[in-house]
Chains A and B, each alone.
Chain A
Amino acid sequence: MKTILSIFMVTVLFYACDTGTNLPAPLNLDCNGIENGTSLLDDCGECQQAYIYNPVSHAVVLLDDTAGIVAPIGEMIIMPNDPMNPYWNNSCDDCNGIQNGTSMIDDCGECQQAYIYNPVTHAVALLDDTAGIVAPTGEMIIMPNDPMNPYWNASCVTTTGTVTELNASNYTVDPNSGTLSGDFVKFNFSEESIVTEDNWDVAFRGTTIIINGGLSSNIDQPTRTGNAAVYIANGTMSSINEVDESSLLQDNSTSPAIADDFGFTGLGWCTYDMTSHVISPIAGKILVFRTHDNKYAKLEILNFYDNPMTSQYGGFYTFNYTLTGGSTTF
């Protein structure tokens, strides 16, 4: 009887002790799954490992656990959250380098930022991150891929078009001084239309062509508000594929960038035939523009008259053009 009871007591004691070892003791696992490992979760939610870094060869050797690791001579151990670690928090940087920023890469590979847009002044204020930004009254926040954003995909998209008989014929010539007078007709490439505001790229009056960049050479010219520039290239529309930025000229106070010569000198875009009194575009001349808002366009003037001809003085521009979104390649 006494032995059965003691065996029973020992078994109970054993059993009591065993219960403690049935539940495993808790382990310290890092985000990489390594016990007591040194990897850490960064603010973007990415598990970053420590590594040995060789500053000479820039070699990176990832470590599961720095414990017991001694860096070879000339190399160093970098902890995951070391400020020197470029991988820390970089996965949630936007293309602009802003952590959790709102910039996006468009289909052309350009990093486009969001911005605050003022529809009255057309002013654009770029934003790194729209978080916490409230647009002032009358202005709006435009996200990069908003259909309203003209910059989205603009750089690798070119538009081609033809403008027929743009009417710049409202001009008169003073026979004594030979000076022209009349209104300039302003044109905008992006909108492919005549504009009346300051958003013009190029303006026409008779044979005179001025651009929205530089200085005015005559008080009857519209004020320059943009950064347009132009030069005349020799070639055909298909042979001019690159903008030669060093050739771009702006209008200045003596004369416009495109020689304003009625076609007499052959240095402008046209020639004037003194027997037939006809203005014709010189073959092989392509006008290359930087628009007022820093896009690029090439243009070939085809005709200076309307058909049927209503005026022997012409001024009806028909031209082919190609416009880029900002790239200097056509």
Chain B
Amino acid sequence: MNKLILVFFCPIICFSQTETDTTLMLSELEEIIISATMSERDLDKLPIPTTIISEKEIMLSNASKLYDVINIQTGIISVPTKTGTEGLQMQGLDASYITILVDGFPIIGRSFGSLDLNRISVTDIERIEVIKGASSSLYGSNALGGVVNLISKKQINDGNKINLSLKYASHNTINPSLIYQYKKGSFQISNSIDYYNTDGYDLIKSDLLSTVNPYSNFTFNTKLRYGLSDKVILNTNARYYNHEQKNTAEHESSLLEGKTNIKEWNLGTSVKYLMNSNLFHQAEIYKTNYRADEYLNTQDGIIFDNNYFDHTLLKSEIKTHFTYKKLNTVLGFGITKEDLSRKDFSNNPKQDLKFIYGQLDATAFRKFNIILGSRYDNYTDYTPVISNKFAVGFPLNKKININSSIGTGFKIPDFRQRYFDFTNSTIGYTVLGRDVAFDRLESMQNNGMIQQIFIPFSELSSPLKSETSLNINIGLKYNPTKKLIFDVNLFNNKVQNLIEAQLVANKASSLLPVFSYFNLNEVETKGIEFNTIYKPSINYEIKMGYQLLYAYDTEIRTRFETEDIYVNDINGVSFKLNKEDYFGLFNRSRHMGNIKILYRINKRLDVNSIITYRSKYALNDVNGNDLLDMYDEFVKGYTLCDLGFTYSLHPLRSIQIGAKNIFGFINPEYISNISGRIYYININLNLK
């Protein structure tokens, strides 16, 4: 059924190949992972569930941004947010519970808790490490669901290296990028510049708005590494990102137009002092700023709405690594200072943190690998939180490894949940952050503006608690032959004290509501993830992955057992639901799978195909009971197929051509991030 598109390229310049192209070789090097333990570890012996996305995979999936490559990993999906940005979902937990790092430094600037995956360019990334499950014992708040760490390319050999990449795809998308690396002795510098421009697309032609407006952005990166002496290494990373996009909205049948502009910079410096082969210290300081501005004007040029968001983070940390025989120890402590300035906040809040963490990574009895980690986070005005993790892995026999881990994670309430002070201009309801609610409501009441109180104001005088979780993973890695790896992991996350908005009071005469935030909910996500890698020969590789997920709100589940829950049928007539009719949380698919095939046709030509499947899910409640039941409207499950050909003329040059979503699947009503078939062509040149 696959329509194979065969295109043959005649090389204009023919260089004799001196060696087989190692970048496309199928043999796997021993994969190294850093993020799980903050030290280099072999992936296959690590007892913590992780996924590594290699440079090869980034290339084969024609990825320009993190969004393009993370979407095709087992158990990971990107979900569009209300503002149109793309956020991650892992083990059923959404984007506000996942930390994204670039070379270990955190990315900030979350919209409704989620970081836009389209912001992060992957053209100069060597590999992406994804740690699944509670990782707060190393990374603190927001790492409750996991961590994604993008590791950038490091030059190994002396000399110059220039890499030029040109990409062109449907919707007039162009993405040229240039990487320049130079190494001499202990001095190394790497620069990259990446430019991206697209026309966007429109799935619903009949309305005024486009689904995605045209935009352009560029990313500039510099990394410097200098060995001041045998024992002292200096590292500096700087990154600058600038994004501009047309902004449109509809108001009373007329079009509003404007622009969105995002500027982000990160600067990090670290000094590493190697005392001896077993001990080193590292001190690092990092500052990042994310600023977003947007406005909308009416057709007459009058300002309708404007908005700004300015977030700064300063982090400084000191780490010590100590190795003794089979025991690796990491100890670290540091501070962070954050401040935010934005529209609809009553003041510019600040947040300070002091943290200290430690981790032991040991091999006991030559077989058992035990990892034990703990971190203490002390945010000002909050009760300190301690997060722990315990992981153990051991080989059952030469072919089977058993892994299990248990950890706790947390997420501090974000600035919006604490300081928001917003009244909707069209309807008139008010949302107050927890830290400002008590005073605002008291003064409203003294001025006679409150009609009825549903929750006593005294409940708002205490601060919000952090959301906390308990995560358990049990897995097995089975390696029956050199050609086959089989990996299964059972996971369970219980998240408590989830922060939700709730009605506090209503205003006199208008009866409009006033909301504030409370620690209300409890959710549970659990499931199984399977992964298989099969390499029958050097010409052929097939990877398969599948995740089964159950994600639900614990309180709703209990309500189904204790109360009568009703639903409206198609005509609006109510009927009673059974316990089994509760589907779970919104935006989660029960089944997700992928198949990735790589086939070497000859020494120069490879073909690869990626097939992803997602089962049905629902976006919101439509039948009058505020929860997701079997009778709600679901987005149908769908399959996407990508097909690509890579032709390498030379170890230094390759051309890729292909199509993503070759069958042109779209769902304009419900899915805004799938635009139909996308053709692409990439040219990659390595110059010296």
Q: Are B574 and A283 in contact (CB under 8 A)?
A: yes
For chain A residues 148-169, which have a beta carbon within 8 Å of chain B? none
**Cβ–Cβ contact B512 & A284, under 8 A:** no
Any chain B CB within 8 A of the CB of A310? no
In the complex, the answer to whether A283 meets B507 with C-beta atoms within 8 Å is: no
Q: Are B511 and A261 in contact (CB under 8 A)?
A: yes
CB-CB under 8 A from A303, the residues of chain B are 572
Q: CB-CB < 8 A to B425: which residues of A?
A: 175
B626's nearest neighbour on chain A, judged by CB, is A271
B573-594 interface with A by 8 A CB criterion:
573-576
Chain A residues in 8 Å Cβ range of B507: 178
Chain B, 619-651, CB within 8 A of any chain A CB: 620, 622-626
Quote the shortest CB–CB distance from B508 to chain A (angstroms).
10
B262 to chain A, nearest CB (A): 24
Of A280, A285, A300, the most chain B CB neighbours within 10 A belong to A280
Nearest to B426 among chain A residues (CB) is A175
A236 touches B575 (CB 8 A): yes
> A301 contacts B506, CB within 8 Å?
no
Residue B564 at the chain A interface, CB threshold 8 Å: yes
Residues of A within 8 A of B567 (CB): 283-284
Query: Which residue from B511, B568, B576 sits with its C-beta under 8 Å from A281?
Result: B568
Interface presence of B540 (CB below 8 A): no
User: Is residue A171 within 8 Å, beta carbon to beta carbon, of the partner chain?
Assistant: no
Contact check, B572 vs A301: say whether CB atoms are below 8 A apart. Answer: yes
- Mask, A255-266, CB within 8 Å of B = 1, is 100001110111
With a 10 A CB-CB cut-off, give which of B564, B574, B625 has the most chain A CB atoms: B574
A262 vs B428: C-alpha distance when bound (angstroms): 11
Contact assessment for A265 and B566 in the assembled complex, using a CB-CB cutoff below 8 Å: no
Q: How far is the CA of A177 from the CA of B567 in the complex (A)?
A: 33
Q: In the bound complex, what is the Cα–Cα distance between A235 and B509 (angstroms)?
A: 31
Q: Does B324 sit within 8 A of A, measured CB to CB?
A: no
The answer to the question of B8 belonging to the interface, with a C-beta cut-off of 8 Å to chain A, is: no
Does the CB pair B564–A280 fall under 8 Å?
no
The answer to whether residues A236 and B626 also contact, given A265-B454, A275-B620 and a CB cut-off of 8 A, is: no
B576 near A284 with CB under 8 A, answer yes
A273 in contact with B573 given A179-B509, A265-B513, A283-B568 (CB within 8 Å):
no
Report chain A residues within 8 Å CB of B572.
281, 300-303, 318
Q: Is B458 an interface residue (CB 8 A)?
A: no
A-B contact count (CB 8 A): 94
A206 to chain B, nearest CB (A): 12
Residues of A close to B178: CB separation below 8 A: none
Residue B565 at the chain A interface, CB threshold 8 Å: yes
**Across the interface, which residues of A come within 8 angstroms of B509, CB to CB?**
177-179
Judge whether B428 and A175 touch: CB under 8 Å.
yes
- How many angstroms between the C-alpha atoms of A226 and B13 in the bound complex? 97
Q: For residue B570, which residue of chain A has the nearest CB?
A: A302
Are A236 and B428 within 8 A (Cβ)? no
Are A177 and B576 within 8 A (Cβ)? no
Q: Is B510 an interface residue (CB 8 A)?
A: yes
| A237 CB–B CB distance under 8 Å | yes
0/1 interface trace, chain A 278-307, chain B, CB 8 Å (1 if under): 001111111000000000000011110000
Known: A177-B510, A302-B571. A236 touches B566 (CB 8 A): yes
CA distance A261 to B573 in the complex (A): 22
A179 in complex: contacting residue of B503, B510, B565, B626, CB < 8 Å = B510
Closest to A218 in B: B509
Q: Cβ of B265 < 8 Å from any Cβ of A?
A: no
A57 at the interface (CB under 8 A from B): no
Q: How far is the CA of A178 from the CA of B512 in the complex (A)?
A: 7
Q: How far is the CB of B80 from chain A (nearest CB, A)?
A: 13
B427 on the A face (CB < 8 A): yes
Chain A residues contacting B82 (CB-CB under 8 Å) are 275
Chain B CB within 8 A of A320 CB: yes
What are the residues of chain A within 8 A of B626 when measuring CB–CB? 266, 271
B427, B429, B454: which has the most chain A beta carbons within 10 Å? B427
- The distance in angstroms between the C-alpha atoms of A177 and B506, with both chains bound, is 12
A284 engages B565 (CB within 8 Å) = yes
**Interface residues as binary, A88-131 with B (CB distance below 8 Å gives 1, 0 otherwise):** 00000000000000000000000000000000000000000000
Residues of A near B513 (CB, < 8 A) are: 261, 264-265
A300 to B454, CA, bound (A): 26
CB-nearest residue of chain A relative to B619? A275
Question: For the complex, is A276 an interface residue (Cβ under 8 Å from B)?
Answer: yes
Which 9 A-B pairs give the minimum distances between C-beta atoms? A284-B566, A302-B572, A178-B510, A283-B624, A178-B428, A283-B566, A264-B513, A178-B512, A283-B625
What would 16 A/B residue contacts be, using CB atoms closer than 8 Å? A175-B425, A175-B427, A176-B428, A177-B509, A178-B510, A178-B511, A235-B564, A239-B576, A262-B511, A282-B625, A284-B564, A284-B625, A285-B574, A300-B573, A302-B571, A318-B572
